[in-house]
Chain A
């Protein structure tokens, strides 16, 4: 009976989690997680309880059905849920499988973060592990943080034509350090196009957040998976 009761409770809780993530309701999510936290594998809680809602939100964003606020609130709620689950995860010695580790920032002298934040939020819904360096990030900081995190991808955002040049500087610095081949380098931002990406030796670019996620997934797969 207990197993049956637990199964029913888990199903119901997972359904609540799905809804709570979709609605960006952190309180409801944490409450649903706590209902079954002690009886459920923490990885299952994440993969089958919370991720489906986040994935659904990502799909709706990609289809233009919802916008950044809804996706952002869903990702925030997801993070709150993770805070509850993480101690259990550590206790069990388990890790969430990441789609890839991305060190992401807006290049030095550029303070615009909206484009970066849109891509980051969408990447989270696709299971990427993101290290967000914020704005005005120098080439040495990008490389230092990529090394520290053992990243798969270094993503460089620039909104202005006068800051795109720092995307090139960062790639050149990777080359100078002999680290260029270690990372997939993606560039993006309003004025960035494929011609510029090729010119500066980036691995890819996209004019949309959806495209950026697809390229990251494709290039990581081509490289043989995550580090």
Chain B
């Protein structure tokens, strides 16, 4: 694979152009050419792609597209480019397993295949806005979920009465504090070695990430460290600095991206190719050892829309069949926590992911807009669905989605806001409050009755 030193050299010497020219003259035309050449079309007849040949063509389209586009570096206004053979060599060389955590909590995240009988990697938690008083208890609640293999920890965006600001000392402090809560929460749950793989959600800059990675704050290279691009296929020196540091440290690096359906990627077909191209960017530029994708619908600002589900299923299969890298997906529900609609959306998303060959993370309620808007019940639900539905085929998932999606799709524009965690969950006793318990019991009963999925509540 192309060496990282060569990559950063290309960031300084590649073709120079404005961001606008990259978007309009390079990205959009190349994507259109690839969609046409490889005949990538979505006929809206199924929610979960079942066409293996189409999945393979999406991968081929992504390779050709990425070889023509590359990754734009905003600091230098240059493009890091790779040849097709360099891309394919990297695909062959990239690790197919990632190891997270330590001691008895150590786990392996592997690539899966479509219709795979292997248990999907069950990742829980939320790198979403959380009030500081809830942060520690929430991490403990995530870590107490016995079937969770790895967790995410919350974003802290206040320090007392001060709101943290990107690039400011307040952000460095918040990132360090979040790291401390993360490790302490795992210890309190009796799982000190648990892998935290969304580092550092409270940091938007390289300096905050690197500052919080010092071992005295609880950080470990066996955790997972996410490096984000921005839309689409762009990055900067701050992100490459993170990669440089994490590579030198020998840490797990995660490629994360949230491409927008309706944005530069265009419709579902374009989104499927761009999702896939991000994995290529991930292994070559970010030096990713695992991958996280979280596509979102531009208008509905969630992922449970049928177009996003299909695009995600198709790109997941393209990656699973042709790269087989450790891979999981985070999707967003429109409905807030502790609502029936949330569970309908979450079930649809999780079934699509499990059948398509992805690892799973709890679907985040309410478009993840509300502070304290995620609950441990969402995470338990994720693990329960993962265990109950491993081995589900894409065909069977489609049959179930045909029943589930009509229950919520017309409400996406006007979804219920739901509740904050303190309103529906008791963080002292780690259990849902009575009204949420009642709702959840009904949800489990309905899922058993209507879809014959037996969700087992783990101790």
Contacts and interface: CB of A to CB of B under 8 A. Distances in A.
A114 B263 contact: yes
B298 A73 contact: no
Interface string B140-179: 0000000000000001010000011111100100000000
Interface in B207-231: 230-231
B246 interface: no
Contacts of B205: 109
Contacts of B298: 67-68, 118
A68 B262 contact: yes
B419 interface: no
A68 B266 CA distance: 6
Given A161-B129, A208-B299, A114 B204 contact: no
Contacts of B32: 69
A186 B230 CA distance: 23
B409 interface: no
Interface of A: 64, 67-70, 72-73, 76, 109-114, 117-118, 160-163, 165-166, 190-191, 193, 207-208
Nearest to B202: A162
A69 B232 contact: no
B28 A166 contact: no
A67 B28 contact: no
B171 A162 contact: yes
B230 A118 contact: no
A163 B28 contact: no
A109 B301 CA distance: 23
Contacts of B24: 72-73, 76
B74 A67 contact: no
Contacts of A160: 166, 204
B301 A114 contact: no
Given A76-B24, A165-B165, A68 B19 contact: no
Nearest to A166: B165
A206 to B, nearest CB: 12
B267 interface: yes
Contact of A67 (B129, B157, B262): B262
B171 A114 contact: no
Contact of B266 (A69, A113, A190, A207): A69
B299 A64 contact: yes
A111 B266 contact: no
B166 A162 contact: yes
B264 interface: yes
B106 interface: no
B192 to A, nearest CB: 29
A113 B166 contact: no
A208 B230 CA distance: 19
A162 B369 contact: no
B19 A113 contact: yes
A114 B264 contact: yes
B13 to A, nearest CB: 22
* Residue among B166, B204, B301 with most chain A CB within 10 A: B166
A112 B231 contact: yes
Contact of A191 (B236, B267, B369): B369
A111 B230 contact: yes
A109 B165 contact: yes
A76 B20 CA distance: 10
B367 to A, nearest CB: 9
B155 A161 contact: yes
Contacts of B351: none
Given A111-B74, A111-B236, A163 B204 contact: yes
B164 A162 contact: yes
A109 B155 CA distance: 18
B288 to A, nearest CB: 20
Nearest to A159: B230
Given A73-B24, A162-B171, A68 B157 contact: no
Nearest to A62: B299
15 contacts: A68-B262, A68-B266, A69-B31, A72-B24, A73-B28, A109-B167, A109-B205, A114-B231, A161-B129, A161-B157, A162-B164, A162-B204, A165-B165, A166-B165, A193-B369
